[in-house]
């Protein structure tokens, strides 16, 4: 039928600029509904009588077409078309550009009943200016289009039947459509005040959705009125951001053909407006592949997002002369010492003089220069690393567990210094406590008056500046006004950061054990903070859905990483300090470039909020843990998931790679620490060749082989893990007696 | 958990709501907290709605009032984070500026002092007036308003240059300053000593502080017994004190530190 076919063609051309206000159905029912929306729109007040005429015309057209009286259709259309144009022109005069599009729509899509053309002005606003207008009401009006509410169920089950009838290989891909369509249709019904239909729709089809969406659906079923939608930021973001689906070209063609054959294109509308279909050429994906990547609020990541080049290599270590007076090793080998030390340093530092192509330039971001104390630290580090145990499947690390007693479930954050000499705990009573792990006690620096009196030239001046009277095993830092959710030591052990529910991040001095600065920027709880591996910069992420990059000497953030759809729960620096990874409650992990604040990678696949992140020491891989008990491994360079480690039964709050990256340790609320063989997990991947175009890997289900050991604590959930410089694993958690 | 028949209906409803939202494990106190919150929220809204309806001179509270009350409360108490497009906007602005270069060798890298929490958050106001027995004289400590005159020991007073003091007395501040420059020279010590006029504010602001008077030596006191400073006469009462004998012991440390505070605290005349 020629008339019908015209419609879709013009649809395609116009779809970027115009909304599809197509909807089928009887005019009467929707007419009533339309008059409801009419009252809200000033433009349509004058146009109401004309609308009813138009509707009867269109109804007549439908009748004629159904009875295949095509000539009559043409004649009527020609005549009615003129009238429609006049209508549109009058609307033009009254509504400016809006009427124009209305007329255009009426002309080209006469075969469809455009019942809510009155509501069209609002829709046009929303789709064309979503970028500019920041008004919430504009966003909400994105749902002003509507079909007949009672037919939504029909549309949905129609689609369901179609997808079930399709070939197996396409079925898995097309099933991805169910969830976003379901949510958008439900929200449309709610927004247009069809509460009963919405509830019925939800009951009928809610149970069909994937299990990992059930939590979201539970929240959704609590929203039955339009007012409920207004305050819910997460849902607003869900509706404005387009849900991304990756479908192969064959499956997509099938779908398109089917939807355009039918009259009810409500589904097509929704797809056009709210979904983004990332088409790729290649084999359709299997169900398991899809399942592994799906789960986030906004679908998967578009392929071009993950194509940006990321410099994941490490920065060159600076050349440091190791002193000769090392009495521990080969004391007798006097003349050989300098040479030996030099070679050792080279092997540990950069491999060659050539620049690693994957490493960023040294001066890509400004980094603080090394002070003398830093150089001493580095020398200590190198000495310790000579004594490091090489770990492997046959050589598992020993685990030392620090249990916090009498914490009464108030322990919310733990951190160790890099040399494992200090331990900090953040508590729900807003204090931060620092303990010395070594027998050496904690001392404060003397007061200014006393410092004047000491001999500055003496060798042990660093001990003399410490006040012996204040020596104690632990120190308490008070200052926050809410539970402390995260603590982070600086690499030079001079500062401690703590972030709290009161919205501030505080910098504490570990020389005087007092608070130096309070960084205010997030006005909402700050869930995580992390110092850069070189000091000076730190990143924080909180409830306001952004992560901020700060420098210790600026009271305002230097970069704001905005893009997540829900709270940012975990923030980590890359070992080269040029990138920041953030995990969020929207189940995605994003990698941000510090230099310009751009998001360079989006990793989807978790089915629950992401609570822990760990970069591998070589900078190439990222591990993430979430509430669904899985640890996922990601290749940063290619932007792909390369491994999945199943085994934990509860949220994973602690993840750490061993010092050389051979073992990944994960600690979770199920009171266990598990060790995984990360060399094997990454090796398997490197030998495969990626399908670069589609970027889909078939993940082997080898979690069992990769699990090297499970270690239970009595009833202490594991909050933090840390490998000492010699590869001893330290774990920390608060003992809870139930 | 109490058995269902003894649990009040509201609590049962709350338990059902928690179950519907998928929360299976919770402490029993949670129900009480939720009920309290609900009660508080609803009564606040209804009270506000009543106010709005009386303002609109309506006889009963209707749905519009409730709606308005909810809207106002939501803006006040339940503030949600800024919308996403706003965040993207400010992020774009912030991320355009290049990262600042790091100055080398600047010690601890902290923001300007205004934004730090490193300033002292206290100020000392009252200082003890100390009496020493070194002089062997009877000292009559008098209460006085004035700055501390702490001074190290300088035994001798040469010529009591009273007259110089007289001129300086009128300005307490300078007096203070003068005192603190006195470390050793006796002449100044004398002036300090002699310059111990103190004024008492007439309107009852008595005894801003006690002062110690770093006196000179016992030899000198005879000189400055009474001094009346004509400039101080006016609307104020004057209290004149004499012969302060001082200690020296605690003077040192205090003098080093208290300079600024004393100037601040010296009650102006």
Are the C-beta atoms of A540 and A550 separated by less than 8 Å? Answer: yes
pLDDT at A423: 95
- Give A14's DSSP letter: H
Instruction: Classify A587 in phi/psi space as left (phi over 0), alpha (psi -120 to 50) or beta.
Output: left
Asked whether A305 and A598 are in contact (CB, 8 A), the reply is no
Q: Give the helix ranges, DSSP H, for A67-128.
A: 70-95, 97-108, 120-128
pTM of the model: 0.68
Q: Is the C-alpha dihedral spanning A13, A15, A21, A23 positive or negative?
A: positive
d(CA A347, CA A342) in angstroms, rounded, equals 9
Distance between alpha carbon B64 and the CA centroid of its chain, in Å? 48
Looking only at the bridges linking them, the beta strands covering A537-542 and A546-551 are: antiparallel
Q: Does residue A379 sit at the B interface (CB-CB below 8 Å)?
A: no
pLDDT of res. B147:
41
Q: Is the dihedral of CA A29, A34, A39, A40 positive or negative?
A: positive
pLDDT surpassing 90 at residue B13: yes
CB A413 within 8 A of CB A423: no
Residues making up chain A, counted from first to last: 738
Chain B neighbours among A 692-731 (CB < 8 Å)? none
Judge whether residue A198 has pLDDT over 80: yes
CB A515, CB A507: distance < 8 Å: yes
pLDDT of residue A104: 38
Range with the poorest average pLDDT among A432-446, A526-540, B26-40, B200-214: B200-214
Distance of alpha carbon B58 from the chain centroid: 50
- In 3D, which of A611, A633, A635 has the Cα closest to residue A623? A633
**Burial readout B136-167 (b: 16 or more C-beta within 10 A, e: otherwise):** eeebebbbbbbbbbbbebbeebeebbeebbbe
| pLDDT value of residue A686 | 57
**Weakest-pLDDT range from A273-287, A317-331, A666-680, B193-207:** B193-207
Interface test with B, best of A240, A372, A560 (most B CBs within 10 A): A560
Average pLDDT, chain A: 77
pLDDT reported for residue A92: 37
Least Cα separation, residue B252 to chain A (angstroms):
12
Measured in whole angstroms, how far is the alpha carbon of residue A667 from the centre of its chain? Answer: 21
Which residue of chain A has the CA closest to B21?
Answer: A218
Q: Which of residues 411-450 of A touch B (CB under 8 A)?
A: 449
Q: Does the pLDDT of residue A135 top 80, yes or no?
A: no
For residue A550, which residues of chain B lie inside 8 Å, CB to CB?
none
Q: What is the per-residue pLDDT for A361?
A: 86
Flag if A597 and B110 touch (Cβ within 8 Å): no
A218–chain B Cβ distance below 8 A for any pair: yes
pLDDT for the residue numbered A730: 96
CA distance A543 to A522: 8
Distance from B107 to chain A by nearest Cα, in Å?
10
- Across residues A663-682, what is the average pLDDT? 93
C-alpha B50 chain-centroid distance: 42
Using DSSP, state whether A401 is helix, strand or coil. Answer: strand
- The pLDDT of residue A60 is 78
pLDDT at B11 over 60: yes
Would you say residue A354 has pLDDT above 90? no
- The structure tokens listed for B6 are 């003894």
A515 near B CB under 8 A: yes
Residue with tokens 């890359």: A574
| Cβ pair B22:A236 closer than 8 A | no
| Chain B residues within an 8 Å CB radius of A543 | 81
| Terminal-to-terminal C-alpha distance of chain B | 71
Point out the least confidently predicted range of A13-27, A532-546, A676-690. A13-27
| Confidence band, pLDDT 50/70/90 cuts, at residue A681 | confident
- Report the pLDDT value the prediction gives residue A425, as an integer from 0 to 100: 96
Rg of chain B over all Cα atoms, to the nearest angstrom: 35
How confident is the model over A561-575, as a mean pLDDT? 94
B82 to chain A, minimum CA–CA distance in Å?
A: 7
Nearest Cα neighbor of A541 from A527, A559, A557 is A527
Rounded Cα distance, B237 and B143, in Å: 13
Whether residue A151 contacts residue A25, with contact meaning beta carbons closer than 8 Å, is answered with yes
Coil, helix or strand at residue A472: strand
3-class SS string, chain B: CCCHHHCCHHHHHHHHHHHHCCCCCCCCHHHHHHHHHHHHHHHHHHHHHHHHHHHCCCCCCCHHHHHHHHHHHHHHCCCCCCCHHHHHHHHHHHHHCCCCCCCCCCCCCCCCHHHECCCCCCCCCCCCCCCCCCCCCCCCCCCECCCCCCCCCCCCCCCCCHHHHHHHHCCHHHHHHHHHHCCCCHHHHHHHHHCCEEEECCCCCCCCECCCCCCCCCCCCCCCCCCCCHHHCCCCEEEECCCCCCCCCCHHHHHHHCHHHHHHHCCCC
Query: What's the pLDDT band for A146 if we cut at 50, 70, 90?
Result: low
| Whole-number CA gyration radius for chain A | 31
A616: pLDDT strictly greater than 80: yes
Half-sphere exposure of B250 (CA within 13 A, CB side): 14
- What CA–CA distance (Å, rounded) separates A433 from A424? 6
Distance CA A313, CA B221 (A): 81
pLDDT for residue A362 is more than 60: yes
| Closest by CA position to A639, among listed A364, A349, A302, A291 | A302
Q: What is the DSSP letter of A211?
A: G
Interface of B with A (CB under 8 A): 20-22, 67, 70, 74, 78, 80-91, 94-95, 97, 99-102, 104, 108-112, 115-118, 253
Average pLDDT over residues B43-56: 93
A8 phi, psi to nearest 5 deg: -60, -35
Arithmetic mean of pLDDT, B166-186:
39
Q: Which residue from B minimizes the CA distance to A544?
A: B81
Structure confidence at residue A41 (pLDDT):
38
Res. B17: pLDDT tops 60: yes
Strands A275-280 vs A243-248: parallel, antiparallel or unpaired: parallel
Neighbours of A288 (CB within 10 A): 12
Window 35-64 of A, Cβ < 8 Å to B: none
Instruction: Give the C-alpha separation, B210 to B204, whole Å.
Output: 15
Q: Which of A353-357, B71-75, B86-90, B130-134 has the lowest mean pLDDT?
A: B130-134
| Residues sharing a CB contact under 8 Å with residue A606, sequence separation 6 or more, in sequence order | A295, A296, A587, A588, A589, A624, A626, A628, A630, A632
B27 CB contacts (<8 Å, ≥6 apart)?
Answer: none
pLDDT bucket at A61, cuts 50 / 70 / 90: confident
Place of tokens 């990256």: A661
Q: Residue A36 and residue A44: Cα distance in Å, rounded? A: 11
Contact A636, A595 (CB under 8 A): no
Tell me the C-alpha distance between B193 and B221, whole Å: 8
The rounded distance, in Å, linking the Cα atoms of A611 and B146 is 62
Highest mean pLDDT out of A1-10, A344-353, A633-642, A694-703? A633-642
Lowest mean pLDDT among A444-458, A569-583, A649-663, B220-234: B220-234
Look at residue B217 in the predicted model and tell me its pLDDT: 41
The Cα B172–Cα B37 span in angstroms is: 60
Q: How confident is the model at residue B259 (pLDDT cuts 50, 70, 90)?
A: very low
> Within chain B, what is the greatest distance between any pair of CA atoms?
98
**Contact (CB<8Å) A524/B81:** yes
Task: Give me the numbers of helices (H) and strands (E) for chain A, helices first please.
Answer: 23, 31
Q: Taking a C-beta distance cutoff of 8 angstroms, is the pair A670, A653 a contact?
A: no
CB A513 within 8 A of CB A534: no
Query: What DSSP state is assigned to residue A299?
Result: B
pLDDT average, residue stretch A189-210:
83
**Residue matched to tokens 């037919």:** A151
Higher local confidence (pLDDT), A128 or A242: A242
Q: Which residues on neighbouring strands pair with residue A584, listed in sequence order?
A: A568
Contacts of residue A728, Cβ cutoff 8 Å, sequence gap at least 6: A389, A397, A398, A400
| Structural contact between residues A698 and A707, judged by C-beta atoms closer than 8 angstroms | no
Q: Considering only A171-175, A176-180, A226-230, A443-447, which range has the smallest mean pLDDT?
A: A226-230
Strand order in the sheet with A422-427: A411-416, A422-427, A431-436, A474-478
């Amino acid at each position: 039928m020629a008339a019908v076919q015209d419609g879709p063609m013009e649809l395609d051309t116009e779809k970027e600029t115009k909304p599809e206000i197509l909807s089928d159905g009887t005019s009467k029912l929707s007419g009533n509904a339309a008059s409801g929306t009419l009252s809200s729109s000033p433009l349509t007040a004058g146009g109401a009588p004309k609308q009813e005429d138009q509707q009867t015309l269109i109804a007549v057209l439908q009748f004629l077409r159904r009875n295949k009286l095509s000539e009559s259709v043409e004649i009527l259309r020609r005549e009615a078309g003129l009238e429609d144009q006049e209508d549109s022109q009058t609307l033009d005069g009254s509504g400016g550009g809006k009427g124009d599009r209305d007329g255009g729509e009426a002309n080209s899509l006469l075969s469809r009943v455009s019942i809510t053309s009155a509501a069209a002005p609002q829709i046009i606003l929303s789709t064309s200016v979503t970028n500019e207008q920041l008004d919430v009401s504009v966003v909400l009006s994105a749902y002003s289009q509507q079909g007949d509410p009672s037919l939504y169920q029909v549309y949905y089950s129609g689609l369901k039947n179609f997808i079930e009838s399709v070939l197996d290989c396409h079925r898995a891909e097309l099933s991805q459509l169910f969830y976003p369509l379901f949510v958008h249709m439900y929200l449309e019904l709610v927004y247009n005040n069809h509460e009963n239909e919405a509830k019925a729709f939800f009951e009928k089809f809610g149970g069909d959705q994937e299990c990992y969406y059930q939590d979201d659906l539970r929240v959704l079923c609590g929203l039955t009125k339009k007012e409920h939608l207004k305050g819910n930021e997460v849902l607003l973001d869900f509706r404005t951001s387009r849900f991304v689906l990756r479908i192969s070209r064959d499956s997509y063609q099938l779908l398109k053909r089917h939807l355009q054959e039918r009259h009810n294109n409500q589904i097509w509308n929704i797809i056009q407006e709210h979904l983004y279909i990332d088409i790729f050429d290649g084999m359709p994906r299997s169900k398991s592949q899809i399942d592994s990547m799906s789960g986030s609020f906004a679908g998967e990541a578009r392929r071009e997002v993950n194509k940006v080049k990321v410099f994941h290599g490490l920065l060159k270590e600076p050349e440091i002369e190791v002193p000769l007076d090392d009495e521990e090793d080969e004391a007798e080998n006097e003349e050989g010492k300098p040479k030996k030390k030099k070679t050792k340093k080279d092997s540990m530092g950069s491999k060659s003089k050539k620049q690693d192509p994957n490493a960023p330039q040294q001066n890509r971001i400004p980094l603080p220069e090394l002070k003398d104390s830093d150089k001493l630290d580095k020398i200590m580090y190198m000495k310790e690393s000579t004594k490091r145990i090489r770990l492997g499947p046959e050589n598992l690390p020993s685990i030392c567990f620090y249990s916090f007693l009498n914490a009464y479930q108030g322990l919310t954050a733990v951190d160790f210094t890099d040399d494992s000499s200090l331990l900090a705990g953040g508590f729900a009573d807003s204090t931060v406590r620092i303990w010395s792990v070594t027998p050496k006690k904690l001392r404060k620096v003397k007061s200014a008056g006393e410092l004047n009196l000491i001999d500055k030239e003496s060798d042990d001046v660093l001990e003399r500046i410490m006040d012996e009277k204040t020596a104690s095993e632990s120190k308490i830092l008070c200052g926050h006004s809410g539970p402390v959710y995260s603590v982070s030591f600086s690499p030079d052990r001079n500062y401690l950061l703590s972030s709290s529910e009161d919205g501030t991040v505080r910098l504490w001095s570990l020389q005087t054990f007092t608070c130096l600065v309070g960084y205010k920027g997030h006005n909402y709880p700050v869930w995580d903070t992390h110092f850069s591996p070189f000091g000076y910069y730190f990143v924080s992420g909180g409830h306001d859905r952004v992560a901020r990059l700060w420098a210790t000497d600026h009271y305002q953030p230097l970069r704001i990483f905005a893009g997540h759809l829900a709270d940012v729960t975990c923030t980590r620096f890359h070992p080269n300090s040029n990138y920041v990874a953030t995990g969020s409650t929207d189940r995605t992990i994003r990698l941000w470039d510090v230099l310009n604040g751009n998001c360079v990678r989006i990793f989807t696949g978790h089915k629950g909020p992401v609570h822990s992140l760990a970069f591998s020491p070589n900078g190439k891989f990222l591990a993430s843990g979430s509430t669904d008990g899985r640890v996922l491994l990601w290749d940063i360079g290619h932007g792909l998931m390369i491994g999945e480690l199943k085994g934990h039964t509860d949220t994973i709050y602690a993840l750490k790679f061993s010092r050389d990256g051979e073992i990944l340790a994960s600690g979770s609320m199920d009171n266990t620490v598990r060790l995984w063989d990360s060399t094997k997990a990454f090796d398997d991947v490197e030998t495969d060749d990626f399908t670069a175009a589609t970027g889909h890997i078939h993940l082997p289900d080898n979690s069992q082989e990769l699990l090297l050991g499970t270690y239970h604590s009595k009833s202490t959930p594991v909050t933090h893990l840390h490998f000492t410089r010699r590869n001893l694993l330290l774990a920390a958690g608060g003992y809870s007696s139930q | 958990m109490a058995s269902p028949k003894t649990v009040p209906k509201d609590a049962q409803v709350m338990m059902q709501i928690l179950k519907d939202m998928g929360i299976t494990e919770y402490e029993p106190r949670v129900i009480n907290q939720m009920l309290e919150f609900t009660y508080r929220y609803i009564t606040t809204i209804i009270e506000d709605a009543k106010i709005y309806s009386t303002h609109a001179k309506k006889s009963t509270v209707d749905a519009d009032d409730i709606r308005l009350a909810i809207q106002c409360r939501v803006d006040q108490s339940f503030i949600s984070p800024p919308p996403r497009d706003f965040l993207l906007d400010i992020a774009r602005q912030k991320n355009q500026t290049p990262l600042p270069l790091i100055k080398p060798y600047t010690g601890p890298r902290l923001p300007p002092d205004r934004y730090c929490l490193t300033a002292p958050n206290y100020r000392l106001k009252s200082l003890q007036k100390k009496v020493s027995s070194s002089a062997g004289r009877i000292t009559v400590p008098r209460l006085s308003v004035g700055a501390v005159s702490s001074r190290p020991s300088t035994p001798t007073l040469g010529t009591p240059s009273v007259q110089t003091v007289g001129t300086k007395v009128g300005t307490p501040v300078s007096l203070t300053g003068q005192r603190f420059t006195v470390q050793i020279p006796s002449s100044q010590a004398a002036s300090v000593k002699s310059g111990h006029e103190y004024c008492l504010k007439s309107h009852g602001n008595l005894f801003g502080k006690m002062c110690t008077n770093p006196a000179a030596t016992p030899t000198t006191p005879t000189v400055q017994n009474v001094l009346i400073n004509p400039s101080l006469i006016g609307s104020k009462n004057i209290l004149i004190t004499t012969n302060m004998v001082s200690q020296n012991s605690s003077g040192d440390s205090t003098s080093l530190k208290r300079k600024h505070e004393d100037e601040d605290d010296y009650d102006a005349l």
